[in-house]
Amino acid sequence: MTDDKTPGVLMLDIQGQYLSAEDRQLLSRQAVGGLILFSRNYTEPDQLRGLIAEIRECKPEILIAVDQEGGRVQRFTSGFARLPAPYRLSSVFDKSPAEAVNQAQVLGWVMAAEILHFGLDLSFAPVLDLHTSASKVIGDRAFSSEVDTTVKLARAYVSGMHEAGMVATGKHFPGHGTVAADSHLELPVDDRIDSELWSRDLRVFSECIDILDAIMPAHVCYPNIDQACAGYSNVWLKNILRQRLGFEGIIFSDDLSMMAAKAVGPAETRAATALAAGCDMILVCNDRQSATDVADYLEKIEHTGNPRLTSLRASPSPELATLYETEKWASAIEIVDRLNY
């Protein structure tokens, strides 16, 4: 058992733009330590402030997350900075590497500063997958198709996130960008051998590992390394990520409700498999019954909290209280706007 201020290991979602009685009951459960917000939970800034206040009143210590990458993956839009897709930086890098690196740092700061300003803890970023023509689900969410360019831009982006006071979550380990299949709909299979992965996708993670606070593995199977998909794999999470790469941060599962994750069985089995493989926090989204079943299971086996998760709580810099009034914000937004055109 854990104390009431230790975050539970389950992150889930809510349906609407305010908390229902059912939401409050579920968020209050000991197993629940995180909440991820989606586009359906947002209309405009004042509504978001009210929702965050409701959530904090219900459970002050809960971790509140979002996917605010930019481009087509930006959950909060109206009233927020319009963030370009990360791949936009690749064309800038081709002309001026130094300018692109500076812009990546600014983008990371803008994204994180605005999210923290509204009282959330983290955005699941950056995407460290490589850009290829094969993967439409990753596509322009990636920084570049080149390893060295991706590493330089990602490290700058993370520096901006850290400057604002947000932890960085690299995804999707060990690399989702080369497979065509969408893991939301099916289990992708990457048939490359060990040396090919290490020279490309894995090298990005290896060269960013020292600055990442958290990692999210891919629901992708790499059969030449392990038959289990990465998010369920002791080989990938314990042997390679923890031991070989020396990663000491938090491991999030990707959403266990995605089709690629369902092959191992019902929700309780998925949760147990992900935790056994080495995940510190598991996500169960867009399936309230499965989330409830997982909470029941975790509380039954008394696997409800993980003290390490407290490291994810936001530590925003003081300037963020008056973010939109600062010269730094005005200058940063000029750079963001240039990237959009």
pLDDT in tens, 213-226: 999 999 999 999 99
The confidence band for 152, taking pLDDT boundaries of 50, 70 and 90, is very high
Check whether 188 has a pLDDT greater than 90.
no
Percent with pLDDT over 90 in the chain = 88
**Mean predicted confidence (pLDDT) in 276-287:** 97
Could you identify the residue written with the tokens 């999707």? Answer: 172
Structure tokens at 323: 């973010």
pLDDT computed for residue 214 by the predictor: 98
pLDDT in tens, 75-90: 999 999 999 999 999 9
Check whether 112 has a pLDDT greater than 90.
yes
Residue of 184, 287, 296, 303 marked active site: 184
pLDDT computed for residue 4 by the predictor: 58
Q: Where are the domains of the chain?
A: 10-339
Check whether 56 has a pLDDT greater than 80.
yes
Asked about 184 being catalytic, the answer comes back as: yes
pLDDT in tens, 235-268: 999 999 999 999 999 999 999 998 878 888 999 9
CATH number for 10-339: choose from 3.20.20.300, 3.40.50.300, 2.30.330.10, 3.40.50.720.
Answer: 3.20.20.300
**Mean predicted confidence (pLDDT) in 308-325:** 93
**Mean predicted confidence (pLDDT) in 295-301:** 96
Could you identify the residue written with the tokens 């996917």? Answer: 67
Percent with pLDDT over 70 in the chain = 98
Residue 135 makes CB contacts below 8 A (sequence gap 6+) with: 129, 176, 177, 178, 179, 180
**Mean predicted confidence (pLDDT) in 19-48:** 97
pLDDT computed for residue 291 by the predictor: 97
Higher pLDDT, residue 182 or 71 = 71
Tell whether omega for the bond before 172 is within 30 degrees of 0, i.e. cis: yes
Q: How would you class 330 by CB atoms within 10 Å of its CB: exposed for 0-12, middle for 13-18, buried for 19 or more? A: exposed
Check whether 182 has a pLDDT greater than 90.
no
Lowest mean pLDDT among 92-96, 240-244, 315-319, 326-330: 315-319
Residue of 121, 201, 213, 254 marked active site: 254
Check whether 192 has a pLDDT greater than 60.
yes
pLDDT computed for residue 209 by the predictor: 98
Query: Mean of the per-residue pLDDT values for the chain?
Result: 94
Asked about 172 being catalytic, the answer comes back as: no
The confidence band for 2, taking pLDDT boundaries of 50, 70 and 90, is very low
